[in-house]
Amino acid sequence: MKITYHQLPGRNIEIKISDNVSIHLEKEEYDDLIRLLIPNMEKEISIVHLNVKSAAKKESKYMDFLLEMENILYDSSSEDCFVRRGLKNIDENKLYEAYKKYSKLF
């Protein structure tokens, strides 16, 4: 028996019992398995789930921030490359709005 797939954030697990038999559990079934096998770790695992979800949300916000900064600081009108804008060509209002929008990330 071996675990062939395990995704903690998505709460999925696949356990291969033999060459022809495998078990795939997700969501509530996954939680039940954890509760039965390692009850003393159930709380820690749920905390990890919350931390992973929180990190994914933060990562998404950081990526949005980087994309917005890229659009403000670089000229991407050419599909081939990005050209850094000169200080005179940067829209200060857009830069300030981006700062206000994402200041809680820092």
What's the pLDDT tens digit per position in 73-93? 988 777 777 788 888 888 999
Q: Is 19 a domain residue? A: no
Q: Is 44 a domain residue?
A: no
State the average pLDDT over residues 8-12. Answer: 75
Q: Give the pair of three-digit tokens for residue 71.
A: 């659009």
Structurally, the chain folds into a number of domains equal to 1
Domain that holds residue 99: 55-106
Query: Is 20 contained in some domain?
Result: no
Residue 11 belongs to some domain of the structure:
no
pTM beyond 0.75: the answer is no
3-state secondary structure of 84: strand
Residue 24 domain-assigned?
no
**66 within a domain of the structure (yes/no):** yes
Cα 102 from Cα 91, distance rounded (Å): 17
105: in domain: yes
Q: Is residue 29 part of a domain?
A: no
Element (H, E) at 81: none
